[in-house]
């Protein structure tokens, strides 16, 4: 059985649509996947339906952006109830924050377009779009749809100086809303080079202390098999999960092919896959992961 439980689509910052992800998952012989778009569940329903038609189970999930002592930490929520009203309200607040942020950032995009001899885009037209456009890939998609660039990924050239948005949410807030929606809360890429515990401290004892603190606040587990982790990282996470009775998970953090994302993604994920389906997870660990994440 092959699994990949961290995949992003065009509904957040991925380069592939849900339809394309299912096709890639089938091509990669994946049996079970999770769509974990950032701060949105808008792509899950389509992914579940398309997955079912292609013999692929899609576990409803999300990756929530949080901050810990001024450092970003991402929290994965697995097997969530996407119709949960509390979750919907929580995500609405996050996306209102992101919308305001990226509307402001559009002035930088227009400056970049004008400096390259192109016409600026209508910010009011951007403001009328749905939540998937309020991200860096979303702006690139908007530029393509507006005719400012010739390809879906060409718009990234005009995003120089554009910053991402980190809403003022703490990990414990994410734990609470994930649990209320019936899900399990997992710390995403805990030991990757960026957006991880390593950005906070390189001291393993201090990293362990943070994990203990997060567990007391409601953390259920740690993402273990991940393209941001080396063998030492994986072994350390396995030790901690056993020591503190934490669940483990496995996900490639797929955002699209290297041709789509650019090689800069390897700053975040040094062992990024060549294709979806290449993530190695031992069979016995895949079974353990699924038991833990799917148990209610």
112 pLDDT above the threshold of 80: yes
pLDDT class for 197, splitting at 50, 70, 90?
very high
- H helix or E strand, kind and range, residue 7: strand 3-7
Angle between helices 44-53 and 18-27 (to 10 degrees): 40
Query: What is the average pLDDT value for the chain, to the nearest integer?
Result: 94
Over range 9-21, report the average pLDDT. 92
Q: Can you tell me the distance from the alpha carbon of 163 to that of 153, in angstroms, rounded to the nearest whole number?
A: 17
Residues near 103 by Cβ (< 8 Å), separated by ≥ 6?
A: 123, 126, 127
CB 88 within 8 A of CB 65: no
Over range 113-122, report the average pLDDT. 95
Please give the pLDDT value at position 168. Answer: 83
63 beta partners: 38, 76
Q: Can you tell me the distance from the alpha carbon of 242 to that of 94, in angstroms, rounded to the nearest whole number?
A: 33
CB 16 within 8 A of CB 24: yes
Measured distance between the N- and C-terminal CA atoms of the chain, rounded to whole angstroms: 22
Question: Does the CA dihedral 196-236-288-296 come out positive or negative?
Answer: negative
Percent of the chain with pLDDT over 90: 81
pLDDT digits (tens, 9 = 90+) for 212-229: 999 999 999 999 999 999
Q: Can you tell me the distance from the alpha carbon of 93 to that of 110, in angstroms, rounded to the nearest whole number?
A: 27
For residue 260, count CB atoms less than 10 angstroms from its CB and return exposed for 0-12, middle for 13-18, buried for 19 or more: middle
Domain regions of the chain by residue span: 3-83+171-294, 92-158
47 beta partners: none
Quick one: fold of 3-83+171-294?
TIM Barrel (3.20.20)
Could you list the beta-strand ranges (E) of 151-251. Answer: 184-187, 221-226, 247-251
pTM for the model: 0.88
What is the per-residue burial (b if ≥16 Cβ within 10 Å, else e) of 61-95? bbbbbbebeeeebbbbbbbbebebeebeebbeebb
Q: Kindly list the distances between the CA atom of residue 278 and the CA atoms of 27, 56, 275, in Å, as whole numbers in the listed order.
A: 11, 16, 6
- H helix or E strand, kind and range, residue 195: none
């Amino acid at each position: 059985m092959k699994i990949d439980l961290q995949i992003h689509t065009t509904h957040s910052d991925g380069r592939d649509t849900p339809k394309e992800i299912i096709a890639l998952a089938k091509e990669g012989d994946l049996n079970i996947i999770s769509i974990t778009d950032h701060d949105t569940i808008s792509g899950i329903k389509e992914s579940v339906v398309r997955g079912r038609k292609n013999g692929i189970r899609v576990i409803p999930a999300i990756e929530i952006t949080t901050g810990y002592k001024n450092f970003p930490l991402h929290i994965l929520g697995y097997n969530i109830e996407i119709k949960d009203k509390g979750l919907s309200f929580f995500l609405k607040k996050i996306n209102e924050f992101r919308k305001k942020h990226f509307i402001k950032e559009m002035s930088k995009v227009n400056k970049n377009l004008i400096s390259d001899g192109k016409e600026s885009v209508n910010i009011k037209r951007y403001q009328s779009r749905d939540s998937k456009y309020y991200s860096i890939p979303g702006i690139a998609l908007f530029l393509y749809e507006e005719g400012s660039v010739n390809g879906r990924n060409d718009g990234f050239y005009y995003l120089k100086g554009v910053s991402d948005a980190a809403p003022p949410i703490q990990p414990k807030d994410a734990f609470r809303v994930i649990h209320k929606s019936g899900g399990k809360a997992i710390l995403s890429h805990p030991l990757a080079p960026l957006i991880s515990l390593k950005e906070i401290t390189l001291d393993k004892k201090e990293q362990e202390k943070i994990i203990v603190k997060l567990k007391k606040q409601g953390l259920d587990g740690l993402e273990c098999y991940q393209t941001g982790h080396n063998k030492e990282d994986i072994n350390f996470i396995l030790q901690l999960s056993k020591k503190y009775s934490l669940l483990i998970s496995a996900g490639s953090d797929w955002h699209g092919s290297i041709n789509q994302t650019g090689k800069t993604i390897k700053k975040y994920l040094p062992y990024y896959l060549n294709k979806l389906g290449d993530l190695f997870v031992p069979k016995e660990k895949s079974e353990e992961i699924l038991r833990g994440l799917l148990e209610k």
